[in-house]
Amino acid sequence: MVIVDRLLTVQQVAEALGTTVRFPRRLIEERRITFVKVGRHVRIPESAVDEYIAANTVHRVVRRLRAVA
């Protein structure tokens, strides 16, 4: 059984990322995100958006304070 991922429009991806449509279009052009061509339409699998977010998430750094001698 094949589980089909939900395909999002460029507009939907822009809304999910909180950006304009220009940003996901640039990701597509630069091949930085997985996409599917359906005829002349471009769709992005929901899992590809999740993977992009996970790969570009910067985690905070916890620093220890040094003891002053």
Mean pLDDT of the chain: 92
CA-closest candidate to residue 35, choices 4, 1, 9: 9
**pLDDT at residue number 52:** 96
Q: What does the domain layout of the chain look like in residue ranges?
A: 7-55
Q: Could you read off the pLDDT of 21-40 as tens digits, one per residue?
A: 999 999 999 999 999 999 99
For residue 52, the Cα-to-chain-centroid distance in whole angstroms is 3
* DSSP code string of 13-25: HHHHHTS-THHHH
Copy the structure tokens of residue 56: 């570009």
Question: Greater confidence, 40 or 65?
Answer: 40
Contacts 24+ apart (CB under 8 A), 34-42: 36/7, 38/7, 41/9, 42/10
Mean pLDDT, residues 30-52: 96
